[in-house]
């Protein structure tokens, strides 16, 4: 079993409740979750402990530079919510649909929300990261997602 853990954190000028709600709304999630260079479609979303979701993330780059895990241009992710504590934590199991062994396995992702003076410290911890995900790519993707979330909830677009 892969014990790799990747993490990213950022203080976002919004309340923990607003950030939690932005994650629990599939239309909002599809707008801010994909890292730079990707788009997202939420195909299923059952926001409750034990509930399942499915998302398709599409690369906007040409096929020559693609790194999709499911197809050359896409990552299909299925997940199951383990824990949903409003304004505090989202914990989930995530798997990429892929025929490539390097992307196999179940990753646990925990979003922790901690109120701080300037808003909320959002921390994403990814446990058992598949070896096919390069650490530098994952770091860039996690930080881009946090930047997107900040832009979404800190402006009227998040409203």
Distance CA 129, CA 104 (A): 9
Q: Structure pTM?
A: 0.87
Distance CA 93, CA 147 (A): 23
Range of the structural domain that residue 128 is part of: 5-158
User: What pLDDT was estimated at residue 31?
Assistant: 92
CATH code: domain of residue 77: 3.30.530.20
CB atoms within 10 A of CB 76: 19
**Residue corresponding to tokens 């499915």:** 54
User: What pLDDT was estimated at residue 159?
Assistant: 43
User: What pLDDT was estimated at residue 69?
Assistant: 58
38-47, 52-61, 115-124: which range is least confident on average? Answer: 52-61
pLDDT above 90 for 62: no
Distances (CA, A) of 66 to 60, 72, 124, 139: 9, 6, 25, 18
CA angle, corner 57, sides to 156 and 17, nearest 5?
35
- Average pLDDT (80-92) is 97
Distance CA 18, CA 38 (A): 24
User: What pLDDT was estimated at residue 49?
Assistant: 96
User: What pLDDT was estimated at residue 141?
Assistant: 87
**Residue corresponding to tokens 């260079």:** 37
Q: How many domains does the chain have?
A: 1
User: What pLDDT was estimated at residue 74?
Assistant: 59
Can you spell out the DSSP letters for 60-75? -S-GGG---SSBTTEE
Over residues 112-124, the pLDDT tens digits come to 999 999 999 999 9
Distance CA 51, CA 45 (A): 8
């Amino acid at each position: 079993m892969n014990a790799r853990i990747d993490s990213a954190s950022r203080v976002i000028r919004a309340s923990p409740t607003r950030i939690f709600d932005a994650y629990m709304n599939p239309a909002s999630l599809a707008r801010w979750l994909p890292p730079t260079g990707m788009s997202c479609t939420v195909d299923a979303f059952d926001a409750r402990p034990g509930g399942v979701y499915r998302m398709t993330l599409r690369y906007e780059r040409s096929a020559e530079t693609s790194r999709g895990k499911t197809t050359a241009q896409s990552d299909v992710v299925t997940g199951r919510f383990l824990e949903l504590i409003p304004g505090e934590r989202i914990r989930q199991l995530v798997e990429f649909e892929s025929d490539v062994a390097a992307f196999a396995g179940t990753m646990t992702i925990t979003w922790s929300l901690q109120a701080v003076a300037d808003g909320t410290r959002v921390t994403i911890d990814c446990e058992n990261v598949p070896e096919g995900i390069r650490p530098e790519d994952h770091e860039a993707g996690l930080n881009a997602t946090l930047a997107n979330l900040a832009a979404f909830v800190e402006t009227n677009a998040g409203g």
